[in-house]
Amino acid sequence: MTAQLSKKSEAWSARFSEPVSDLVKRYTASVFFDKRLALFDIEGSLAHAEMLAATGIISAADQAEIVRGMTQIRAEIEAGRFEWLLDLEDVHLNIEKRLTELVGDAGKRLHTGRSRNDQVATDIRLYLRSAIDDVSALLRALQLALLDLAEQHAATIMPGFTHMQVAQPITFGHHMLAYVEMFSRDAERMADCRKRVNRLPLGAAALAGTTFPIDRERVAKTLGFDEVCRNSLDAVSDRDFAIEFCAAAALVMTHVSRMSEELIIWMSPRVGFIDIADRFCTGSSIMPQKKNPDVPELARGKTGRVNGHLIGLLTLMKGQPLAYNKDNQEDKEPLFDTVDTLTDTLRIFADMATGITVKADTMRAAALQGFATATDLADYLVKKGLPFRDAHEAVARAVRTCVDRGCDLTDLTLEELRAFSALIEADIFAVLTLEGSVAARDHIGGTAPKQVRAAIAAARQRLG
């Protein structure tokens, strides 16, 4: 009796002579992860029903019953009272079965002119469109938090690095703006990806379209899609949009990971540039003095997780013939996890940015190490008429002398500096200060505090 009941609950039961085994049910079912598509499934079904009634394919009375039933189902799902059944395999059949229980034959007519193939493709696009909107808002929040931090420290001097060696003085505000730029590009990529997500596959049916006189443009307008997918085969089998989102998400996480790496280094007592608020850190079970930057460390690790999902989806699609194949069921879990990981990470990083304390004195002391203003001395000589390569060599010899003596360029007297070039005059000491160095880079994109503040204002205007 159980096997018979199970068999009768399947949409294709008349074709088969024996029920699906329990192992196969568990192996092929998706309901326990694709149920997060439920509200989008209902949204798509209501738009489909409205179109079916408008074109005369179903009656207005049937549409009204479908709306009534779906309204109750939505309430049950939101209240956590909906019963999800493994025997019904996926979110679509679970909802359809419940709708039929509630409204009878009207529920059975809902699937006219569509397939689960175009239905699930529509659900995923609706879900991902909403997720992209959430991600875009979170990227904006993170950028605003970083802009606040940059504004506080537009003139706070720190060493800039190349090859992890002290290179030139910059300001901490300028450094934060680099990440604002990265996340701005990420927001652009998300907006561009959304354009290709926002195309309606519904109406492609299983793969070839339908014989019913449907109005796909009407459904697209109802659901807020920009256009319809133009080929039925491609419409049901395309997952480019999901791969594209995961690629954009991987880039966001890469930027988060780079920032995490710097936060971790800067928080180390050996560097001591910043502190991160306690609520984002943990201690050690054995070493009572420890304060570990767990959030940036974990974000750095989760970047590998998101990268893995991107590779997984690319591998999933690489060998599939047209059109829909059961392989595509495996698109949802990596996509869902990418969305969850990305949104959680962005949300916590926007909050964490408000909990970063900058240790300006330590940063300044570090900027005085490593001959950070050596390039300024070379530029000074070039402006006096010396060819750059000759200026480079003169400064290199001066730096070597300072290394041997264990002093800085600013510790040399004017006479000692003139031994490297007779063009050096008393005004050199203003050039060699940290403040003079950063202030001199007074152009768009430069680290001069004036430019940093201008860049912050421009970024705020862009973000609205």
Let me know: does 434 contact 374? Beta carbons within 8 Å: no
Return the exposure string of 371-394: e unless at least 16 CB atoms fall within 10 Å of the residue's CB, then b.
Answer: bbbbbbbbbbbbeeebeeeebbeb
Stated as kind and residue range, the H or E segment containing 158 is strand 157-162
Nearest Cα neighbor of 117 from 334, 333, 329, 339 is 329
pLDDT score of 7 more than 50: no
Nearest Cα neighbor of 125 from 306, 312, 331 is 331
Question: CA–CA distance from 21 to each of 87, 298, 328 (Å)?
Answer: 10, 41, 22
Domains in the chain: ranges and CATH? 22-112 (1.10.275.10), 117-154+171-359 (1.20.200.10), 365-463 (1.10.40.30)
220 CB-near residues (< 8 Å, 6+ apart)? 200, 226, 227, 228
pLDDT at 57: 98
Stated as kind and residue range, the H or E segment containing 274 is strand 274-276
pLDDT in tens, 129-150: 999 999 999 999 999 999 999 9
pLDDT at 13: 63
pLDDT band at 88 (very low <50, low <70, confident <90, very high): very high
pLDDT at 2: 38
Predicted structure pTM score: 0.92
Averaged pLDDT, 164-188: 97
- The catalytic residues are 163, 284
SS3 337: helix
> In the structure encoding, which two tokens stand for residue 270, read together?
């050996």
pLDDT in tens, 338-349: 999 999 999 999
Report residue 69: phi and psi, to 5°: -65, -45
pLDDT band at 10 (very low <50, low <70, confident <90, very high): low
DSSP string covering 102-151:
HHTHHHHHTTTT--HHHHHHHHHHHHHHHHHHHHHHHHHHHHHHHHHHHH
Nearest Cα neighbor of 194 from 269, 137, 132 is 132
pLDDT at 289: 85
Angle (nearest 5°) at CA 262 between 305 and 152: 120
| Summary mean pLDDT of the chain | 94
Neighbour tally for 315: CB within 10 Å: 10
Torsion sign, CA atoms 122, 126, 129, 131? negative
pLDDT score of 28 more than 70: yes
Q: Are strands 199-200 and 227-228 parallel, antiparallel or unpaired?
A: parallel
pLDDT at 6: 43
Averaged pLDDT, 161-184: 97
Averaged pLDDT, 419-441: 94
Averaged pLDDT, 213-230: 98
pLDDT band at 4 (very low <50, low <70, confident <90, very high): very low
As a whole number of angstroms, the distance between CA 66 and CA 104 comes to 9
Report residue 387: phi and psi, to 5°: -55, 145
As a whole number of angstroms, the distance between CA 118 and CA 204 comes to 6
pLDDT in tens, 250-276: 999 999 999 999 999 999 999 999 999
